[in-house]
């Protein structure tokens, strides 16, 4: 059965703003990864992962309510799905393993988006800042 919910423009604007915040908080991480990888996840991937993660949380809240146990299942699926995406960035050869940092930052980026979706902006900002700072420390040591 198809059903439509009445939404106010304020609610729509709030969702758009949340997704843009998630996008913006992931952009510096994507910028760093773009310069560190050769054709892997980069400037487009990280903001999209954050925005999509935020979107999935907002969909879960809209569909099940803020205090629903089903929302935990949405978050679980998000964590596992992003882990799967991150795994695709890890490459192993006989002598080395590459992509661990990119894989972990894909995961953190999903957490940033989820935090914004849950309106936990302080957590999202700290995750973004500390991740970007950690990535830049590597550059200072070289």
**Tens-place pLDDT, residues 55-98:** 999 999 999 999 999 999 999 999 999 887 777 776 666 677 66
In a domain? residue 24: yes
In a domain? residue 36: yes
Please give the pLDDT value at position 3. Answer: 63
Q: Can you list the alpha helix ranges (DSSP code H) found in the chain?
A: 9-36, 45-64, 70-87, 100-117, 121-141
Q: What sign does the CA torsion over 57, 62, 68, 74 have?
A: negative
| Count of structural domains within the chain | 1
Instruction: Using DSSP, state whether 92 is helix, strand or coil.
Output: strand
In a domain? residue 5: no
In a domain? residue 3: no
Structure confidence at residue 35 as a pLDDT band (50, 70, 90):
confident
Please give the residue that has the higher pLDDT: either 20 or 3.
20
Q: For residue 102, what are the domain limits?
A: 11-141
In a domain? residue 103: yes
In a domain? residue 28: yes
Please give the pLDDT value at position 1. Answer: 56
């Amino acid at each position: 059965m198809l059903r439509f919910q009445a939404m106010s423009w304020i609610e729509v604007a709030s969702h758009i703003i949340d997704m843009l915040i998630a996008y913006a908080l992931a952009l510096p991480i994507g910028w760093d990864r773009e310069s560190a990888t050769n054709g892997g996840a980069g400037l487009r991937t990280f903001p999209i992962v954050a925005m999509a993660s935020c979107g999935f949380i907002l969909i879960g809240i809209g569909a099940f309510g803020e205090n629903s146990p089903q929302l935990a299942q949405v978050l679980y699926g998000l964590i596992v799905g992003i882990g799967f995406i991150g795994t695709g960035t890890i490459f192993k050869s006989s002598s080395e393993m590459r992509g661990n940092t990119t894989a972990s930052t894909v995961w953190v980026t999903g957490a940033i988006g989820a935090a914004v979706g849950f309106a936990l902006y302080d957590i999202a900002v700290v995750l973004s800042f500390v991740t970007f700072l950690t990535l830049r420390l590597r550059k200072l040591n070289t």
